[in-house]
Amino acid sequence: MKVRVLGSAAGGGLPQWNCGCANCARARAGDPFVPPRSQPSLAISADGARWSLLNASPDVRDQLAKANGLWPRAGTRDVPLDTVVISNADLDHVLGLLVLREALPHRIVTTAWIRDALLDHNAAFRLLAPAFHAVKLDEAIFLDRDETLEARLFPVPGKAPTWLAQLVPNAPEATLGLRVCDRRSGRRLVYAPGLRALDSGSWAELAAADLRFVDGTFWSDDELQRLRPAAPGAVQMGHLPIGGRDGSLARLSLLPGRTLYTHLNNTNPVLDARSSEAAEVRALGVEIAMDGMELEL
Ligand SMILES: [Zn+2]
Ligand SMILES: [Zn+2]
């Protein structure tokens, strides 16, 4: 299985257009230790020829322009894209679906809860209705036409998107992790970009993976409040912080295999490669995903 990190920042990216935090200012100024990052998405492939996306960020147009494996065949409009899986309806994970609206060669796989949330409350998404394929939690689907990559969506502790909170009650089908198993090798990837807590179910999924991409939105719970006192805390926003005694790093660093933090908010101190927080992550054997990074599993 081949994996390409299309975007490693959380919603807003780095720099975020309206943010003057230290990281955003340094990224704007071209500081080599705080390189710019685009909004969150992964591309995966069984063979490097045909690909699937895990979430579709508003930056998907630029992300695909930089990923030559995903370019259309010369002289055609034939793109080697099979499936786009959606793990929740946050705008940084779904706006790219509208960017990819021409022709729709791909399937959009998600739960009925997420499909209905998008189609019932957003007329523009109805353009995409024929491409949706709804699955139940833990239902097996194949991402690729050769049926090599078997995927399942599993529920994780999370928060329904803010824009939906007044419209639809939250449900286990609203915030998901994705497990992808390569049927040739039995190797497993797990992608969990939104994770409010490590409950026993999500912990078991992460522990069983050989390669895991985990919610690294915030280092500390009060990170946004330091910038804007009225802002909500990390856990309230649906993201377990990395640092501290109860943070995810202390537990994830115990797991074998490879662990990468992704979905990094622009305020997160780990985005500065020379910060003590980034050094702490590295010292515990955990990695920080980077746009354009390519991995093999
Ligand atoms: Zn910022
Ligand atoms: Zn997000």
What are the pLDDT digits (tens) for 163-183?
998 899 999 999 999 999 999
**Statement: residue 228 has pLDDT above 90:** no
Among the bound ligands, name the one nearest to the CA of residue 263: 2
What are the pLDDT digits (tens) for 70-128?
999 999 999 999 999 999 999 999 999 999 998 788 999 999 999 999 999 999 999 99
Q: Are 69 and 92 in contact (CB under 8 A)?
A: no
Among the bound ligands, name the one nearest to the CA of residue 228: 1
Q: What angle do CA 235, 136, 100 make, to 5 degrees?
A: 75
Q: What angle do CA 57, 180, 37 make, to 5 degrees?
A: 30
Q: What is the Cα–Cα distance from 37 to 290, expressed in whole angstroms? A: 7
For the chain, the average pLDDT equals: 96
* 217 Cα to the center of ligand 1, angstroms: 12
pLDDT value at residue 105: 86
- Report the percentage of the chain scoring pLDDT > 70: 100
* 266 Cα to the center of ligand 1, angstroms: 5
* 215 Cα to the center of ligand 1, angstroms: 18
Q: Which two tokens stand for residue 180?
A: 């992808």
Q: What is the Cα–Cα distance from 79 to 45, expressed in whole angstroms? A: 13
**Statement: residue 258 has pLDDT above 80:** yes
**Statement: residue 226 has pLDDT above 90:** no
pLDDT value at residue 49: 95
| Residue 110: count of CB within 10 angstroms of its CB | 27
pLDDT value at residue 100: 95
Rounded to an integer, the average pLDDT of 132-151 is 96
Q: What is the Cα–Cα distance from 56 to 43, expressed in whole angstroms? A: 10
DSSP codes joined into one string, 20-35? -SHHHHHHHTT-TTS-
